[in-house]
Amino acid sequence: MKKEITVKPTTVAMLEVGIKNLPDSSLLVRSPIVRTDEAPEVLCSLYEIAGKKNTYGIPAGWFKRAMVRWAKGKSCEEISGSDVLRNIWVMPDHKAISGLDLVTIKGSRPHQVQDVWLPFGHCTPRIITFTEINIWKSMLQVRFNSDAFTAEEVLNLINLGGSDDGCGRKRIGEGYNHGGYSVSEKPAPKVTYFKSSKGVV
């Protein structure tokens, strides 16, 4: 006779939180601006959202990656990079035609800058043209397992990931000063809880 194992439902929560760039920490991307309704040349790009002035999309995974990198880089018994990978997800609010999940950002008008860049694993510096946004902000929707993390812990992880690693090119985690962000005080973060369906194995 098959023994049924009841699986305890996971309590999942959605955190809506605003972020803004750290002072003097602009967003830098490697590739040209492309439209969300066009096929991009590369995935690490700034995507112009058609019909919305000074509104762009960047890969949603950048924000989760910042949290994971912070957790992996710290000797912390309470949390690991694997914990973040398994239990926290940054939800996209837009898609490029390529299918890439994007988070919408608003900011100042982008401009191009040229700089010397030494790619990881290469010995020869290259002159690279970057696209830069000096002031930017976004609203993140972060789904998380509230049996593993509290909303306050997720907010703290967002701050730590933004201040220690950041997103985009030449970010803080690479030893530069770009891509840093922190949680905005307004609007106040909002959290909603809901349970997944109970299952039987």
Q: What is the pLDDT of residues 136-168, one digit of tens each?
A: 999 999 999 999 999 999 999 999 999 999 999
Residues 88, 140: Cα–Cα separation, whole Å: 12
Residues 178, 10: Cα–Cα separation, whole Å: 37
CB burial readout 25-60, b (16+ within 10 A) else e: bbbbbbbeebebeeebeeeebbbbbeeeeeebbbbb
| The pLDDT of residue 158 | 96
Q: What is the pLDDT of residues 10-50, one digit of tens each?
A: 789 999 999 999 999 999 987 677 777 776 555 567 888 87
Range with the lowest mean pLDDT among 2-16, 128-142, 172-186?
Answer: 2-16
| The pLDDT of residue 200 | 39
Residues 79, 85: Cα–Cα separation, whole Å: 11
Q: Which amino acid is at 147?
A: D
Residues 41, 98: Cα–Cα separation, whole Å: 10
- Give residue limits of the domains in the chain: 6-200
| The pLDDT of residue 201 | 36
